[in-house]
Amino acid sequence: MEITNVMEYEEIARQKLPKMVFDYYVSGAEDQWTLRENRNAFSRILFRPRILIDVSKIDMATTVLGFNISMPIMIAPTAMQKMAHPEGEYATARAASAAGTIMTLSSWATSSVEEVASTGPGIRFFQLYVYKDRNIVTQLVRRAERAGFKAIALTVDTPRLGRREADIKNRFTLPPFLTLKNFEGLDLGKMDKTNDSGLASYVAGQIDRSLSWKDVKWLQTITKLPILVKGVLTAEDARIAIECGAAGIIVSNHGARQLDYVPATIMALEEVVRAAQGRVPVFLDGGVRRGTDVFKALALGASGIFIGRPVLFSLAAEGEAGVRKVLQMLRDEFELTMALSGCRSLKEITRDHIVTNWDAPRNITPRL
C-alpha cells in the first residue's frame, strides 16, 4: 500500500506491534475525550485564503532559540522508541537531522543522550522529568550539555502519571530486553511488573511531586541551556513561566495522556500566545497530523509545532525511512497550504488567514 498521509501509519503500526506496546503509544487518559479533541479541534478552524499572490517561491525556514531549521515542524519527545523499532531513537535522530529540523529526546528514551549524539550532527533538545533525587537531575542535565544538546524541555504536567486504562489492563512494563538508557548506570533503568501500570508505579516511586515554579529557577542554576516549559495551557501559567526565566513555552497536554477534559492544545494556544506578548516563542504539540494543522497553529501565533505519535507509528512501520517520510509529507502539505493561502513566508501567515468557530464576528479591514 502506498502511504499518502501521516495517519495511514497508525494502522500499520497496530498490525506490527505487540498489543501492550501499541496501546501504550496510542492511548490517552481515562475517557480519552481530550485525545479525540486534540484532533477534532483542528477541524473547527477554516481557511480564509488570499488569491492572486505570486507564490512561485515559498520559504518555510525559521529559527528556534537562534538555531536555523528548514521548517517549523519538529519532533516531540516520546518515550521508549526501541519498543517500536530496534533502531529507536537512533533512527529518529538521523531522520530529523536529514530533514534539517530539531529532535527532542525523552528522559525515558531507550537510547542515551551520548548514544543519540553519536549518530552524527543535528540540533537536539532534551526533555527532562525531575526526579526526587536532584543529584540524578543534575547529572542528567550535564550529560545532555556535554553531548551537545541545545535546550531543556522541562515537562511540568506530570507530578503523577495520568490514568491510562489501557496500560492498567495490559499491565504495561518496559520489555525485559530494553532499559531506560539514561538511567541505566543509576539502577533506575528497569521497570518492575506490577498489578497496575508498571510506568505509573515507576513514576510514583521516582518523580518529584513537589516540583514547583522555584524549580524552574533552580534548573537555571545548574545549566546555561535555555529552558522550554512544556505543558502550559493557560495565560496565567504562561506569564509565570516567563517571569521565572523560561526561554520558551510549549502548549501541551502531554498527548492527552495526563488530565482528561483539558482543552485541545490548538484551542488553548491563542490564550497563551496573547499572554506571552511576544516575549518568548510559543510552540504547540498534540494532534498535528496534516500540513494544514501546522498552518493553523502558526496562524494562531505558534512559532512552530512538535509531532509525537506520527513518529512512533512511522518508526514501527518503516524505521528511519518512515520517520523521514512523515517529515517530508508534513513539509509538502504545509508548503501547499501556504501556497494556496497566498503566503510566501512564515511571517505572512496571519490570524486573518483563518476563522475559528469560537471567533466572535469580526470586521475584516481589506488589505491590498
- Annotated binding residues, as ranges? 24, 77-79, 106, 127, 129, 155, 164, 230, 252, 254, 257, 285-289, 308-309
How many Å apart are CA 156 and CA 129, to the nearest integer?
8
Residue corresponding to grid cell 495565560 = 235
254 is catalytic: yes
How many Å apart are CA 268 and CA 200, to the nearest integer?
27
Residue 47: in which H helix or E strand, if any?
strand 45-47
Q: How far is CA 261 from CA 38, 200, 232, 256, 292, in A?
A: 11, 20, 15, 9, 24
Q: Smallest Cα–Cα separation from 294: which of 327, 258, 254, 253? A: 327
How many Å apart are CA 189 and CA 178, to the nearest integer?
9
How many Å apart are CA 307 and CA 288, to the nearest integer?
6
State the cell numbers at 205: 516511586
How many Å apart are CA 39 and CA 161, to the nearest integer?
22
CA 241 to chain centre: 18
How many Å apart are CA 301 and CA 273, to the nearest integer?
6
How many Å apart are CA 249 and CA 274, to the nearest integer?
12
Q: Which amino acid is at 330?
A: L
Binding-site positions for FMN read 77-79, 106, 127, 155, 230, 252, 285-289, 308-309
Check residue 198 and give left, alpha or beta (phi > 0: left; psi -120 to 50: alpha).
alpha
- What's 13-39 look like in SS3? HHHHCCHHHHHHHHCCCCCCHHHHHHH
Q: How far is CA 235 from CA 137, 243, 282, 358, in A?
A: 28, 12, 12, 17
264 contacts 285 by C-beta, under 8 angstroms: no
Q: Smallest Cα–Cα separation from 311: which of 76, 142, 148, 118? A: 76
Catalytic residue, from 39, 124, 254, 353: name it: 254
Q: Catalytic site residues?
A: 254
